[in-house]
Structure 1
Amino acid sequence: MTSDDFARPGRTRSLQTYTALSPGQVEAVLALLDEAARTDGQQAVSEQGRLQLRGGERAGVTHLLLFLTREASESEGGRDGELVGYAQLEDTDPVEPPAAELVVHPSHRGQGHGRALGSALLAASGKRLRVWAHGGHSAARHLAQVLGLTLFRELRQMRRPLAGLELPDPELPEGVTVRAFVPGRDDAAWLALNAAAFAHHPEQGALTQRDLDDRKAEPWFDPEGFFLAEREDGGLVGFHWTKVHRAEGLGEVYVLGVSPQAQGGGLGKSLTTIGLRYLAGQGLPTAMLYVDADNKAAVAVYERLGFLTHETDLMYRTET
């Protein structure tokens, strides 16, 4: 989320809404996101949001594209003009307000485009809105204030070095073994376990087969780094899905989940250790993960494993 103040004279702002983007539009949005990430130091739109750009229409997902045109451009046949802002609105949670992410091109900030996108999101959501501010920059906090939003969620990115990794040997519960995920064969069982483990989590717990397929199609996907904890009867009780950000030299504790019936026995810690050892074996210097700041128990576990807060993402919402 980025903030702006006023529109540039001699230019016309045009906001267009889509339920699906063309390949050319996807390319333009991704280029905008990359340019913003180079300036801001992190992506303004989450992995899920970037995946939802592609593949046609998705239930509950709306794309808002903000263009800037010169006053004479219509007579010259330039209808769309220059893409200067993007927002995505996802209305799939049956209880929580729609969630949004937005970004303005670094060269066009300070011209009111962020406020225009934010106001459009408020209108489209019926003034029931949650908005992510990745990195929690001051400009994003200012925009949230202007839009009348209040802070209600803090997501921490934590990191620890992997060089010289020293962790105790994992101790698995009796009758539980760990193996790698098998694409296709394990999909349905993993989706059911993920939904149970994250029943309280509006984004992660709602993943579908399409969401899983999107991730399996990504270049980073590695089933050998996707660990499943399995009972003797074949039932899954936990998992640790790791992810490698090779260009950044980062290994991620991507998703770690334990069945509600198996929680409290140390399985999560053991799975974390197994995954961290795997990432260290890939020659990566640093591990990272995301955790909600109010999940005190998880934060404490990760701190004991040597993780420290690196940066924070903030979510704002309308008053309820």
Structure 2
Amino acid sequence: MSSAEPTTDQVTRTDRLSPEEIADVLALARLAGDTDGANPLDEHVLLRLRDPQAPAVHLTARGGDGRLIGYAHLDTTDAATGIGVELVVHPAHRRRGSGRALARGVLAAATGPLRAWAHGDHPSAAALAVDLGFHRARVLWQLRRPLTTTLDEPRLPDGVTLRAFRPGVDDAAWLDLNARAFAEHPEQGRWTPDDLRVRLAEPWFDPAGFLLAEESATGRLVGFHWTKVHERPGSARIGEVYVLGVDPAAHRGGLGRALTWAGLAYLRDRRGLDRVMLYVDDSNTAAVALYRRLGFAHWSAHVNYHLG
């Protein structure tokens, strides 16, 4: 290990980052994402970085010149169930012990079981996880498809219509539907009003791209397709099937397929996009089969490692 590389003792822990430190972390994450083709910090962590009230532990590692070369985020919201961990190392400082020093700092700071994401499923992350005793517990696939091919016309079940989400009006009803649709999901089904609020305040949010399916006779929500558009200077724009859910009572009626086509048509026709992505657990065989039938193909994998 060179003198510019941190040891465990040189990893700094804090419960709050300054605005300058947050800017350094975001710049490091962008650089690593551009290098690896996968963002090292997911949306949940990025939102928490901008929220001064969000409980978290931050570990930073700096080189001899003071430049940030590594960062680890510990989400301590539910330590009993598992502390969420995400870690990023500067591409020029890998294979020199920086990642291991941060990981050992994570172990020293942990007060419960750990749940660590490795975005992009890089071999170096897998090797470090094995060395530290983590086991591979969950795999999230990113699938993609072009929007330049023919899209089917959405065929909604009888008595069901589509409309746009109304912020401040549909919040409670949507949260209730989301909880039913994702009752078994480890993250999505647990969304709170605050989780929804912070996303509705994001610059990318567009209510026109948040499609709700409701029963015409009762107004009851039975499904939704929330789309998202990723836009960043220097990168090609891409749409996302951000969240798509159907009330369990409305399954097997073709609503999920119709909602998917409706969202893809919105991204292509209203937003002018030529490609789209989505995330799905590899263990969700029914959803994977549906998306493959709709023209999606495997792009990358994200692995969740558990310890304790």
Instruction: Assess same fold via TM > 0.5.
Output: yes
State the secondary structure of the residue aligned to 1:52.
helix
Alignment CA distance shift 1:83-1:94 (3 Å): closer
1:127 deviation in Å?
A: 5.9
Alignment CA distance shift 1:10-1:47 (3 Å): closer
Q: Does 1:158 align with 2:152?
A: no
Paired letter, 2:247? S
1:260 to 241, 248, 251: 248
**Deviation string, structure 1 residues 74-101 (Cα, Å, up to 9, x no partner):** xxxxxxx332111111233476322211
Structure 2 portions without partners, runs of 5+: none
What is aligned with 1:213?
197
2:168 to 171, 176, 184: 184
**Deviation string, structure 1 residues 182-237 (Cα, Å, up to 9, x no partner):** 11111222122212211211221222222222222222111101001112322211
Percent of paired sites with the same residue: 51
What is aligned with 1:317?
306
State the secondary structure of the residue aligned to 1:43.
coil
Q: TM-score, normalised by structure 1?
A: 0.88
State the secondary structure of the residue aligned to 1:298.
helix
How many angstroms apart in 2 are the aligned matches of 1:277 and 1:87?
38
Taking the TM superposition and a 5 Å limit, the aligned residue runs for 1:49-128 are 49-59=45-55, 61-69=56-64, 81-93=66-78, 96-126=81-111, 128=113
What is aligned with 2:178?
194
1:69 deviation in Å?
A: 3.7
State the secondary structure of the residue aligned to 1:58.
coil
Q: Is the 8 A contact 2:79 2:112 kept in 1?
A: no
**Deviation string, structure 1 residues 240-274 (Cα, Å, up to 9, x no partner):** 00011244231111100112222222211111111
Runs (4+) of structure 1 exceeding 6 A deviation are none
1:10 deviation in Å?
A: 6.2
Q: Is the 8 A contact 2:80 2:112 kept in 1?
A: no
What is aligned with 2:287?
298
Structure 1 portions without partners, runs of 5+: 1-6, 71-80
Q: TM-score, normalised by structure 2?
A: 0.91
Q: Does 1:288 align with 2:277?
A: yes
